[in-house]
Amino acid sequence: MLVPTLPLAAAVALVAAGAAQPTPPPAPPPPRCDAPEHRQFDFWLGEWDVYEGEALAGTNRIETILDGCALRESWVGSSGMRGTSLNSFSPRDRRWHQTWVDSNGLLLELAGTFENGRIELAGRVPQPDGAADAMHRITWEPRADGTVRQHWQASRDGGVSWSDVFDGIYRQRRGDRPPPLRGSLDPPLARTPASATAPRSR
């Protein structure tokens, strides 16, 4: 029995047509940090002038990195002290984590959560003299006027008493440096002398 065959030219044309069809590109991977929790700290993003009372404490740049999986802080204090931190939300323990290092040699490893409209992180720093660990807690809270309040406290007695390390207001930079704040906090900023466990400003 004879088997019908396509003419050679027609067969070559069919093969060429099939080869010409482009292979569809692979689907892009889903975002790894697209959960709402990863955006809880986004109110801190921006270029900021940071004031403690009426004095300019320094400038801070907060930017998103690693495809939205982390925030990087770049601090330059008025005294010349510099510091940086990495901040990320971990789905494993449902907490925010911050690692801070500065030019004074301070290393802070903090963790905490977003509750009641603010981020609160805390951690301990071992002391070289064998004394009890220094405890640190820092809150960042966005305010209705677009500023952010950062309040940093430390304790050397296991949390029985706390002293202010830094209590400042972030103002977005808009061209020329804005004038210092006057009487914007209610109640007024506490001006407790800094503890020996951390620098005065961030």
Q: Which is it for strands 107-115 and 118-125: parallel, antiparallel or unpaired?
A: antiparallel
Is 82 part of a structural domain of the chain?
Answer: yes
Residues 58, 143: Cα–Cα separation, whole Å: 20
Tens digits of pLDDT across the chain (202 residues): 444 554 555 554 555 555 556 788 887 766 689 999 999 999 999 999 999 999 999 999 999 999 999 999 999 999 999 999 999 999 999 999 999 999 999 999 999 999 999 999 999 998 877 777 899 999 999 999 999 999 999 999 888 999 999 999 999 987 544 444 333 333 322 222 333 344 445 5
Residues 4, 6: Cα–Cα separation, whole Å: 7
Is 76 part of a structural domain of the chain?
Answer: yes
Residues 31, 37: Cα–Cα separation, whole Å: 13
Domain encompassing residue 134: 36-172
Tokens, residue 121: 């992180």
Cα 35 to chain centroid, rounded: 16
Is 27 part of a structural domain of the chain?
Answer: no
Q: Report the run of H or E that residue 75 belongs to, with start and end.
A: strand 70-77
pTM, two decimals, is 0.72
- CATH code of the domain containing 168: 2.40.128.20
**Domains: count for the chain:** 1
Q: Which is it for strands 46-52 and 95-102: parallel, antiparallel or unpaired?
A: unpaired
Is 21 part of a structural domain of the chain?
Answer: no
Contact 153/164 with Cβ under 8 angstroms?
yes
Is 4 part of a structural domain of the chain?
Answer: no
Is 178 part of a structural domain of the chain?
Answer: no
Is 48 part of a structural domain of the chain?
Answer: yes
Contact 103/81 with Cβ under 8 angstroms?
yes
The 10s digit of each residue's pLDDT in 20-78 is 567 888 877 666 899 999 999 999 999 999 999 999 999 999 999 999 999 999 999 99
Is 103 part of a structural domain of the chain?
Answer: yes
Please report the sign of the dihedral spanned by the C-alpha atoms of residue 158, residue 163, residue 165, residue 166: positive
